[in-house]
Copies of this chain bind each other. A is one copy, B any other.
């Protein structure tokens, strides 16, 4: 018998040879499953979408976290919205100046399941600087204005519980929750997705921030193998503000991020520059 974990994204499909299903349970919000795959090890699948795996998670978590962390002059107070698998919190805490990380995850079951199946992802969740808030990130930010240097929007796709995290209302809220000169980073799907809303996401970000820089990374278990992010801020520029010493420090323990990779991520291919209106 051959077992394959298969995910269909409109006109394309990804498949991963699987060893078996280790966990499967409907939470209050979504179907939470853990599948063992041959190439990527244990995999968290939410409502049928691969969210994180043991072996390729480093790309997503490093690239969601470090570009903002090495560019902000002194990031001390960080909020991760979503990110219940813990990987983003782990990367944030590689930066020694951090005093506080709030993890605002709506689905407590995801955190519990990941503590069991992803010990490396969740290795920093019990650090005393971490404040786990199980609940609606949207509501949390409403009640915590001007508190954060960096907000990392570690959301699922804009369907299901993550949908609200790509709206004007949400981005306006993140702006108010940031301190002066703060940075918002949000994941933003694959540029190869024909339904990608990258131009729209950029426009909405620019209603709230004076800069919104697209950047990319290769993530083999996400649709099309190429993923993207936006770096939004009024004062911090990812290429002009990044500190080389902090980049080199992070590179000592990174698997993907390097100073050259940081710069390279912000290079926009010609077709996408036209699509985004930045050519």
Chain A positions near chain B (C-beta within 8 angstroms): 4, 6, 8, 10-17, 37-39, 56, 58-59, 192, 194, 216, 218, 220, 224-226, 251, 254-258, 260-261, 263-271, 273
- From B39, B56, B192, B266, A220 is in contact (CB under 8 Å) with B192
Are A256 and B268 closer than 8 Å at their CB atoms? no
* Nearest-Cβ distance from residue A49 to partner chain B, whole angstroms: 16
| CB-defined A-B contacts under 8 Å, sample of 30 | A8-B15, A10-B17, A11-B38, A11-B39, A12-B17, A12-B39, A13-B13, A13-B14, A13-B15, A13-B17, A39-B194, A56-B192, A58-B271, A216-B218, A218-B225, A220-B224, A226-B226, A251-B270, A254-B270, A255-B270, A255-B271, A256-B270, A256-B271, A257-B270, A258-B269, A260-B267, A261-B270, A263-B264, A264-B265, A264-B267
Residues of B within 8 A of A261 (CB): 267-270
Residues of B within 8 A of A263 (CB): 263-264, 267
- From B218, B257, B267, B269, A226 is in contact (CB under 8 Å) with B218
- From B225, B251, B257, B270, A224 is in contact (CB under 8 Å) with B225
Residues of B within 8 A of A273 (CB): 258
* Nearest-Cβ distance from residue A66 to partner chain B, whole angstroms: 11
Query: Known contacts A226-B226, A255-B271, A258-B269; can you find 8 more A-B pairs with CB under 8 A?
Result: A10-B39, A12-B16, A56-B192, A216-B218, A255-B270, A256-B269, A256-B271, A261-B269
* Nearest-Cβ distance from residue A224 to partner chain B, whole angstroms: 5
Q: Closest residue of chain B to A253, judged by CB? A: B270
Are B11 and A12 closer than 8 Å at their CB atoms? no
Residues of B within 8 A of A38 (CB): 11
Given A220-B192, A254-B270, A15 contacting B16 (CB threshold 8 A) = no
Q: How far, in whole Å, are A225 and B270 apart by their CA atoms in the complex?
A: 18
Q: How far, in whole Å, are A102 and B37 apart by their CA atoms in the complex?
A: 45
Q: How far, in whole Å, are A257 and B19 apart by their CA atoms in the complex?
A: 40
Residues of B within 8 A of A224 (CB): 220, 225
* Nearest-Cβ distance from residue A160 to partner chain B, whole angstroms: 22
* Nearest-Cβ distance from residue A65 to partner chain B, whole angstroms: 14
Q: How far, in whole Å, are A187 and B197 apart by their CA atoms in the complex?
A: 32
* Nearest-Cβ distance from residue A270 to partner chain B, whole angstroms: 5
What are the 8 A-B residue pairs with the smallest beta carbon separation, nearest first? A225-B225, A13-B15, A264-B264, A264-B267, A260-B267, A11-B39, A11-B38, A218-B226
Q: Closest residue of chain B to A216, judged by CB? A: B218
Q: How far, in whole Å, are A16 and B260 apart by their CA atoms in the complex?
A: 34
Residues of B within 8 A of A56 (CB): 192
